[in-house]
Structure 1
Amino acid sequence: MIAMIGAAIAPGIAILSYFYLRDSLEPEPISMVIRSFVFGMLLVIPIMVLQYIMQNEWNWQGGLVADVVQSAVVEEFFKWMVIFFTAYKHVEFDEPYDGIVYAVAVSLGFATLENLFYLIINGLNIAFWRALLPVSSHALFAVWMGYYLGRAKFSNSRKKERTFLWLSIALPIGLHALYNAIFLSVQNWIVVIVPFMLLLWWQGLKKVQRAHEYSSKKLSSRPQ
């Protein structure tokens, strides 16, 4: 059981540590990051209950549209809501890169507890693939979410803020939906998912670099 718990939490902690340590300008309080991670974990049960109701009470079973709504829309929307109300409005969210830190923390909290449940049900033999695909994909969807939340928070007009807020929820849902569609619609999915994940990492790291540059400009413009 200890090995299973370790295998479930290690990928999330490792990926979160990477994105947290990239915040070299003005790192967030570790207590805030842990809090966001815990909030993400707390989302798992209500989301699972809602998905169960959608599948069994509302009879939304099977099909690409049902899967997209139950997984991509529900999960990314609730993660976005938690980030918006617990981090976006917080005083510690004081530079653009912070959006990525908090979004990744919430998403990996969710992915880590979800991963533990999957390993308990299916065993340790799937731990490597769970770390490589679902856990890391949750983090990468969160990079896009956090990047645009950071742009929204420090935009210079209400119109730009609304646009970036819209992008911060729409793009992660779209990426998550595409990720799910690959598994549902492509017979030899491994041929497609590998380049898709590589593209996600490449674009995600570019977003990290851009957010870091925006943060550097933001901090340098502060009164001394």
Structure 2
Amino acid sequence: MNAASVLLWLATVAAPLGGLAALLLGSQRLYGRRRFVVGTAVLGALAFVPALLLESFLQRWQGLDKNAGALDAVTLVYLFAVAAPLEQGLKVAAVAPIARLRTVDEPFDGLVYAAAAALGFVSAHNAVYLWGRPLSSIDIARALLAVPAHLSFASLWGYALGRERKRPLGGRRFNAAWLVAMLLNGAYDYIVFACRPVALFLAAPVLLGLGVVVFLAARDLLRRSASPHSSQRRERRFLPHIAPPSLGTVREALRRTERPVMLTWIAFGALVTVGVMTTTLALAVALGHRFGVDFAAVDRGDASTAAAAPLLLLVAGAIAAFPFAGYLVARASSTGSLLEPAASAALAIVGTLVLLGLAAPVAVVFATALAPIAFSLACAGAWIGTTR
């Protein structure tokens, strides 16, 4: 590695460390004790060592390479059954001493400690991943995307850690959040590392959707602070006041009202969602042909903007359908609840995954990664429809 490569390597590895420094400077002793936060980050970095050794051994033993860009079932099983559970499990192990010492004093502490473990883990990951490589733009993009990805995955079970301080590890909410984080980790690794470089463009909407979820989770934990005065001070410092509803408000809207569940509107809403999605995809294809976009470039595997443009256009067309469909179902049903629109969106997503599994099994991974974003957008559209 020449001097420029070394500097670039240092800058890439320092990105998660910069995030940790910002976390410490912004906390002002409000969230977690700083020495425990730093210690958790160090444990997170050390936790990458057994992950590296075990994954390297298994890859040599089975002749696997998750960075080879090969779309095969063996790599898919390896990422979901070995790599993702191992990585998320070791991050939890880095937080376990803090959880056992009962130093999670306030709800937001759980998210801070989980973020610290993730930042330490991904810093070590990037250092090993980039060392000795030619540092191409693809490698740098993968390393940089890994920072918000691992941070978001850990924040999911970090939220549960803050909510269940009396039983921080092993509670029902924590187990469910960890399982979701593990599945998203596997899907992310498959998209970013095991697929063609053009698939990197799909990581942007996935990370954006996860960022919104983490933002709402952080706001919810801030509202649960023990001291109302300190909660207001923290919220002003960490997260600005915005109009979107809190997670608690959304949960209340998803619960049953005095009306029975309208199964007819759930089924009809699923058909509406599929119809709107078909329309938006057709519009995306028409728009692409209008501007000369070559959709066949995706099948050819071109690692250029020629393949990225049609892929992003189709993803945008499919995702854009859900807020419109959620709004239409909420307005037409007039139930005043998010239950029917959310259930119809979930039914449409499951049906789409089943059809993709029959037609193109590899596409199921991409659709699974985008499913939480689509569902969230459908709920957002339904929320607007119920409040108007």
- TM-score by shorter chain over 0.5: yes
Q: Which residue pairs with 1:119 in the alignment?
A: 130
Q: Aligned match of 1:78 in 85, 90, 93?
A: 90
Question: Does the C-alpha gap of structure 1 residues 17 and 201 become closer, same or farther in structure 2, counting only changes over 3 Å?
Answer: farther
C-alpha separation between the residues in 2 aligned to 1:191 and 1:119?
A: 20
Larger Rg: 2
8 Å contact kept, 1:37–1:109:
yes
Q: Which residue pairs with 2:81 in the alignment?
A: 69
Which structure 1 residue ranges, 5 or more long, are not aligned?
none
Letter in 2 for 1:146: G
C-alpha separation between the residues in 2 aligned to 1:138 and 1:90?
A: 24
Which structure 2 residue ranges, 5 or more long, are not aligned?
65-73, 230-388
Letter in 1 for 2:181: P
C-alpha separation between the residues in 1 aligned to 2:115 and 2:189?
A: 19
TM-score (norm 2): 0.49
Query: Which of the pair has the greater relative contact order for Cα pairs under 8 Å at 6+ separation?
Result: 1
Question: Does the C-alpha gap of structure 1 residues 10 and 54 become closer, same or farther in structure 2, counting only changes over 3 Å?
Answer: same
4+ residue segments displaced more than 6 Å: none
Q: Does 1:44 align with 2:53?
A: no
8 Å contact kept, 1:20–1:101:
no
Which residues in structure 2 correspond to 1:1-224 (within 5 Å)? 3-4=7-8, 6-20=10-24, 23=27, 26-57=30-61, 59=62, 61=64, 62-84=74-96, 86-126=97-137, 128-154=140-166, 162-183=171-192, 184=194, 188-214=198-224, 216=225, 218-220=226-228
Letter in 1 for 2:184: L
Q: How much has 1:176 moved relative to structure 2?
A: 0.5
Question: Does the C-alpha gap of structure 1 residues 136 and 100 become closer, same or farther in structure 2, counting only changes over 3 Å?
Answer: same
8 Å contact kept, 1:79–1:106:
yes
C-alpha separation between the residues in 1 aligned to 2:60 and 2:190?
A: 22
Q: How much has 1:187 moved relative to structure 2?
A: 7.5
C-alpha separation between the residues in 2 aligned to 1:213 and 1:12?
A: 27
C-alpha separation between the residues in 1 aligned to 2:88 and 2:191?
A: 18
1:153 aligns to what SS in structure 2?
coil
Q: How much has 1:75 moved relative to structure 2?
A: 0.4
Q: How much has 1:18 moved relative to structure 2?
A: 4.0
8 Å contact kept, 1:40–1:79:
yes
Once the two structures are aligned, what percentage of the paired residues are identical?
24
TM-score (norm 1): 0.82
C-alpha separation between the residues in 2 aligned to 1:165 and 1:97?
A: 15
Q: How much has 1:179 moved relative to structure 2?
A: 1.0
C-alpha separation between the residues in 1 aligned to 2:218 and 2:58?
A: 35
User: Which stretch shows the higher mean deviation, 138-147 or 163-172?
Assistant: 163-172
8 Å contact kept, 1:149–1:165:
yes
C-alpha separation between the residues in 2 aligned to 1:79 and 1:125?
A: 28
Letter in 2 for 1:93: V
Letter in 2 for 1:164: R
Question: Does the C-alpha gap of structure 1 residues 48 and 56 become closer, same or farther in structure 2, counting only changes over 3 Å?
Answer: same
Q: How much has 1:138 moved relative to structure 2?
A: 0.7
